[in-house]
Amino acid sequence: MQYWLFKSEPNCYSIDDMKRDKKTLWDGVRNYQARNFMREMRVGDRGLFYHSSTIPAGVVGTVVVSKNALPDLTQFDPKSDHPDPKSNPADPRWDCVELTFDTMLSRTVTLNEIKQKKAFSHLQLVQKGNRLSVLPVDKKHYDQIIKMAQ
């Protein structure tokens, strides 16, 4: 089983939305590295749900991968937020996975406190300039962040 982190701006899609919807397609991702990580995901993988571009930014909940990667249909919809006219329907460029709500953390584990712990220095999330919206996390770090919320 692998562990991941999913970023979302809460005014776009928050952990509360995730809880209400129970499951959602993680579509709209238009970054090759993030897409490749989604292609590696398998049903049952765990994920941290992270709120970005908000104060404070941080981990707010957990999710489970409930469907392996499948074509992201929003790329072919001119009315979607991220249409990609260059993507060929016979060989779609962008994929998404389905996520299912797991838990809401009892408090936000902020980026700031994660940065302050030396144990997290190799976490891609805390390395400067990180703009990846989907990234892998070690089980160790995943467990530790959940523990910090308690």
Partner DNA sequence: GCCAACGTTGGC
Does 131 interact with DNA (rule: CB under 7 A)?
yes
Shortest separation between residue 52's beta carbon and DNA, angstroms: 4
Q: Are 94 and 30 in contact (CB under 8 A)?
A: yes
The binder of DNA chosen from 91, 129, 147, 150 (CB under 7 A)? 129
Does 31 interact with DNA (rule: CB under 7 A)?
yes
For the segment 100-119, give every residue that binds DNA (CB under 7 A): 111-112, 115
Shortest separation between residue 84's beta carbon and DNA, angstroms: 8
Tell me the DSSP string of 24-86: EE------HHHHHHHHH--TT-EEEEEE-SSSS-EEEEEEEEEEEEEE-GGGG-TTSSS--TT
Q: Could you give phi then psi for residue 83, rounded to 5 degrees?
A: -65, 150
Does 39 interact with DNA (rule: CB under 7 A)?
no
The binder of DNA chosen from 64, 70, 132, 149 (CB under 7 A)? 132
**33 or 42, CB closer to DNA?**
33
Does 52 interact with DNA (rule: CB under 7 A)?
yes
Cα→Cα distances 142→17, 49, 69, 84, 85, Å? 22, 11, 22, 33, 37
Segment interacting with DNA, rule: CB under 7 A, options 51-59, 60-68, 70-78, 142-150:
51-59
Shortest separation between residue 2's beta carbon and DNA, angstroms: 20
Residue from 79, 85, 82, 49 nearest 64 by CA: 49
- Going by their DSSP bridges, the two strands 3-8 and 134-137 should be labelled as antiparallel
User: Applying CB under 7 A, which residues contact DNA?
Assistant: 7, 9, 30-33, 52-57, 111-112, 115, 128-133
